[in-house]
């Protein structure tokens, strides 16, 4: 009996040692995140933790249009990308002989990659059912957990933990923008307002933006893509602030990020530049329309950085009406943006500019 117990204990020790060695001797890891800007920036704590804690050779798979974000990150050794089809890259990935795959996309395409590579892998809880329940029936079963912390569930088996240092964004020196190239007045400090967004219902209307900007005491630089340029011009015309500059479409992503980094305050819709602002540890006022912070995508900052203010219209029975967004308000009233509290936004802006960490 005693021999049997000793044998079983010995066997368990051997199995434990074997399992531990599998996940501690990981020399080559593939991380999958196809898109988009904000989601990729939200992977940077995982990228840092994998590289620093495992000392591995870290590869990333993403879409071609986003590869620059990963290539600028010194913690990433190799970036694999594709434009339209995985067929462009699958054979190469098979030959890389990865030890482990971290899937932070978790969709049909990423599962196809995993099946092709045939290596151990892990993913994170995407919570699609919980989001569907909240959008369609207003039943909230979502955990109070940021998506970055959910991402870390994918690397638990590797004994990789969150260092709590927040997001990162690496800005190439040759793409920095001197604010005075826009106007000399910006040398004394300015606010960036990100007016763009992928969906109409996540974008604050021009009249509302102009009304708030008219009361701000610092110059304002409007940021967005070329598709936002005409709205930017309208905001400039409607605003009573004489120091509003429409930079939409004038700079690359890194150029816009450079202006975000140098701003005293960033006011932004739920966009990729919101997460870039968080990566630079900037004071942020984020504006939420049809989506809600409870989805886990709000500005992610280290615990000591209390520089984020969330502006939203709570207790609307129709909100959230989508986990992403719509081309127009399904209810035709757009209260989630039109009823935003302008006085609260202005007060928060004043406090964040005068004391960049006012909530400690």
* Inside any domain, residue 164: no
* d(C-alpha 185, C-alpha 344), whole Å: 26
Q: Within this chain, do residues 10 and 151 fall inside the same structural domain, yes or no?
A: yes
Tens-place pLDDT, residues 93-146: 999 999 999 999 999 999 999 999 999 999 999 999 999 999 999 999 999 999
* Inside any domain, residue 335: yes
Q: Within this chain, do residues 68 and 99 fall inside the same structural domain, yes or no?
A: yes
Last residue of a domain, one of 111, 127, 158: 158
Task: Report pLDDT for 117.
Answer: 97
Question: Which structural domain range is residue 323 located in?
Answer: 173-354
Tens-place pLDDT, residues 304-321: 677 899 999 999 999 999
pLDDT average, residue stretch 342-349: 98
* Inside any domain, residue 212: yes
Q: Within this chain, do residues 211 and 301 fall inside the same structural domain, yes or no?
A: yes
| Stated pTM of the model | 0.91
Q: Within this chain, do residues 208 and 152 fall inside the same structural domain, yes or no?
A: no
* d(C-alpha 258, C-alpha 255), whole Å: 5
Looking at every residue in the chain, the average pLDDT score rounds to 92
Last residue of a domain, one of 135, 158, 181: 158
CATH number at residue 134: 3.40.50.2000
Last residue of a domain, one of 123, 158, 193: 158
* d(C-alpha 235, C-alpha 246), whole Å: 8
Q: Within this chain, do residues 220 and 83 fall inside the same structural domain, yes or no?
A: no
Tens-place pLDDT, residues 274-315: 999 999 999 999 999 999 999 999 999 997 677 899 999 999
Residue 21 has pLDDT above 70, yes or no: no
Q: Within this chain, do residues 229 and 136 fall inside the same structural domain, yes or no?
A: no
* d(C-alpha 286, C-alpha 267), whole Å: 6
* Inside any domain, residue 166: no
Tokens at 306, concatenated: 């209390």
Q: Within this chain, do residues 294 and 205 fall inside the same structural domain, yes or no?
A: yes
Q: Within this chain, do residues 134 and 16 fall inside the same structural domain, yes or no?
A: yes
Tens-place pLDDT, residues 203-231: 999 999 999 999 999 999 999 999 999 99
Q: Report residue 175: phi and psi, to 5°.
A: -115, 15
Q: Which residue shows structure tokens 């800005």?
A: 171
* Count of the separate structural domains present in the chain: 2
């Amino acid at each position: 009996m005693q021999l049997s117990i000793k044998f079983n204990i010995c066997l368990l020790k051997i199995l434990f040692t074997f399992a531990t060695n599998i996940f501690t001797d990981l020399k080559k890891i593939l991380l999958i995140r196809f898109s988009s800007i904000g989601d990729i920036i939200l992977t940077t704590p995982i990228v840092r933790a994998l590289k620093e804690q495992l000392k591995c050779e870290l590869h990333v798979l993403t879409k071609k249009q986003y590869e620059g974000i990963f290539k600028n990150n010194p913690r990433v050794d190799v970036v694999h990308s594709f434009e339209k089809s995985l067929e462009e890259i699958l054979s190469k990935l098979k030959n890389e002989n990865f030890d482990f795959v971290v899937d932070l996309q978790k969709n049909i395409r990423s599962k196809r990659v995993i099946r092709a590579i045939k290596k151990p892998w892990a993913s994170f809880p995407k919570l699609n059912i919980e989001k569907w329940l909240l959008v369609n029936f207003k039943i909230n079963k979502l955990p109070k957990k940021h998506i970055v912390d959910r991402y870390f569930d994918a690397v638990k088996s590797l004994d990789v933990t969150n260092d709590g240092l927040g997001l990162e964004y690496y800005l190439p020196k040759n793409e920095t923008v001197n604010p005075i190239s826009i106007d000399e007045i910006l040398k004394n400090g300015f606010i960036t307002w990100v007016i763009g967004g992928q969906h109409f219902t996540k974008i604050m209307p021009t009249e509302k933006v102009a009304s708030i900007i008219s009361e701000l005491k610092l110059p304002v630089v409007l940021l967005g893509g070329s598709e936002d340029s005409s709205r930017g011009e309208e905001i400039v015309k409607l605003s009573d602030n004489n120091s509003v500059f429409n930079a939409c479409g004038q700079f690359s992503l890194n150029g816009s990020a450079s202006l975000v980094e140098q701003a005293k305050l960033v006011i932004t819709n739920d966009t990729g530049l919101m997460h870039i602002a968080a990566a630079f540890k900037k004071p942020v006022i984020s504006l939420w329309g049809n989506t809600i912070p409870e989805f886990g995508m709000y500005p992610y900052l280290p615990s000591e950085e209390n520089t984020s203010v969330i502006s939203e219209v709570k207790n609307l029975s129709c909100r959230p009406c989508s986990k992403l967004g719509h081309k127009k308000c399904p209810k035709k009233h757009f209260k989630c943006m039109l009823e935003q509290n302008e006085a609260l936004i202005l007060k928060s802006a004043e406090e964040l500019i005068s004391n960049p960490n006012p909530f400690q």
